Amino acid sequence: MARDYLRHYDVLVIGSGLAGQSLALRLAESRRVALVTKRSLEETATAWAQGGIAAVLDAADSVDAHIQDTITAGAGLCNVEATRFVVEHGHAAIDWLIAQGVPFTRDGSAFGYHLTREGGHSHRRIIHADDATGAAVQETLTEKVRKHPNITVLERHIGVDLITGAKLGLKAQRCWGAYLLDIDNDRILTVGAQHTVLATGGAGKVYLYTTNPDTATGDGIAMAWRAGCRVADMEFIQFHPTCLYHQHAKSFLITEAMRGEGAILRLPDGTRFMPEHDERAELAPRDIVARAIDFEMKKHGIDCVFLDVTHKSPVFIAHHFPNIYARCQKLGIDISRMPIPVVPAAHYTCGGVVVDLAARTDVPGLYAIGETACTGLHGANRLASNSLLECVVFAEAAARDILADKPAKSPKLPEWDESRVSDADEEIVISHNWDELRRFMWDYVGIVRTNKRLERASHRIKLLEREIDDYYANFRVSNDLIELRNLVLTAHLIVRSAQQRKESRGLHFSRDYPDMLPTAKDSVLKPSLR
């Protein structure tokens, strides 16, 4: 094997959002880290996050209040231990980000930073950088990552599969790294590492309409499942209530903070409808607001509803929501004078790879953090702005565990075998299957579900899996094929989890089981390794 095709690092981190970058920075003082990203370091779901980061930062707030808000939003399914762990470490996580130089919005309060409120929160506890918090965090950390001598950045590389003891024919099950596709040079690298971390984000692209970037294809979840890890609660896909509805606005999110600052949801005739669905009105948790909008759209046969903030002054709007204001202006929507057309869209994967409080998966040497993981924090519905907090807290927990772990003797890693495959003769199979998957997942496994819809989705997924497995076995891998393979597997896990839940809870609403069971149980799936 040519030397360039085989590389070794202390830690391999796949994914470059807040979870991956904060972990890399915490490890790099004493470890050689490879940070892998499918596109550039800047192109992540983190960079798209608008609202902010939830943490107990004000004297009037409390850890217990934040925990209770999280559990309430999670419909009783949150793991109490994990929830307390994240919330209690929240202030330290924010302090770490401030120390890195993240320019959060300041004000004249005792704390020194402006805190806003979002749906489901009983206090103002969302620290933010105007309405582009994710971008501010991403830019700050990316600059540090690019300059760090112990971090090797592998841009335009995608994980193909993990290298485990089972694949190497060893008795001891452990992760020893991963095979990566170098997209630009069309070659497979074998990357060995003592510790491998999946931080690839969620799977929003499994749906036709999503607020996620194109990179959100469930890669880490699928890779972990194939390696033998359990996944849990995959049926809980959060649909953000307010995605901008415009033919020229792809996946543009209208932050929850706008409703936190008083924006009102209206029908096309101006009628306010949220008070009829929940006493908290526009500040109800996301699942309730998304279902209410879906109900009103179907009831009235309309394509969208409208978010109205025109009762606020233009100065207030431009100051608090400068990016949304500017983006809408370019599309001919002056949000200080007219309401914003919005629809729900797939936003966040609450379930994922099962991990403990050190971010360890079922496979030794393999960790999962961020949206890829199921820590137990989110339960059946993520509370707004808890996701970025979880990224920082569990990145620190994983770093602490990795640094304390004793090195193991690495086995010899084989190169990727392409001897029995050929170049694909046509790509239409991939693009057609990708489109078909996203459309039937939207139609059958969306905001409202039924047994019949789930059965239809399951049948189509099985057909796609057979077709893709055959394609994968006979042709050289490509970025599109890897993503499609992962998306179909992730869709399979979502549908299986949804079929397993015989109730309506949080983000999972079934017309066949409209009531919530008295006991909350996780939907845990365990792979059978062949």
With the CA atoms of 129, 130, 133 and 135 taken in that order, what torsion angle do they form, in degrees rounded to the nearest 10?
Answer: -100
SS (H, E, C) 342-386: EEEEEEEECCEEECCCCCECCCCCEEECHHHEECCCCCCCCCCCC
- Listed in order, strand segments (DSSP E) in 91-186 are 115-116, 126-127, 151-155, 157-164, 175-182
Mark 341-371 as b/e (b = at least 16 C-beta within 10 Å): bbbbbbbbbbbbbbbebebbbbbebbbbbbb
User: What residues does 279 pair with on adjacent strands?
Assistant: none
DSSP secondary structure letter of residue 211: S
- How far is Cα of residue 42 from the mean position of the Cα atoms in its chain? 16
Measure the CA–CA gap between 305 and 256, rounded to whole angstroms.
15
Which stretches within 112-248 are classed as H helix?
Answer: 133-147, 219-227
* Burial class, 373, CB count within 10 angstroms (exposed 0-12 / middle 13-18 / buried 19+): buried
Q: Say if residues 288 and 328 touch (Cβ distance below 8 Å).
A: no
Q: Say if residues 285 and 119 touch (Cβ distance below 8 Å).
A: yes
Q: Say if residues 51 and 217 touch (Cβ distance below 8 Å).
A: no
- How far is Cα of residue 232 from the mean position of the Cα atoms in its chain? 14
Neighbours of 212 (CB within 10 A): 25
Nearest C-alpha neighbor of 151 from the set 247, 31, 278:
31
Helices (H) and strands (E) in the chain, counts: 15, 18
Neighbours of 45 (CB within 10 A): 27
Q: What H or E segment, with its residue span, contains residue 461?
A: helix 451-474
Measure the CA–CA gap between 269 and 414, rounded to whole angstroms.
65
DSSP secondary structure letter of residue 218: -
Distance in angstroms between the alpha carbons of the first and the last residue of the chain: 28
Q: Which residues are catalytic?
A: 286
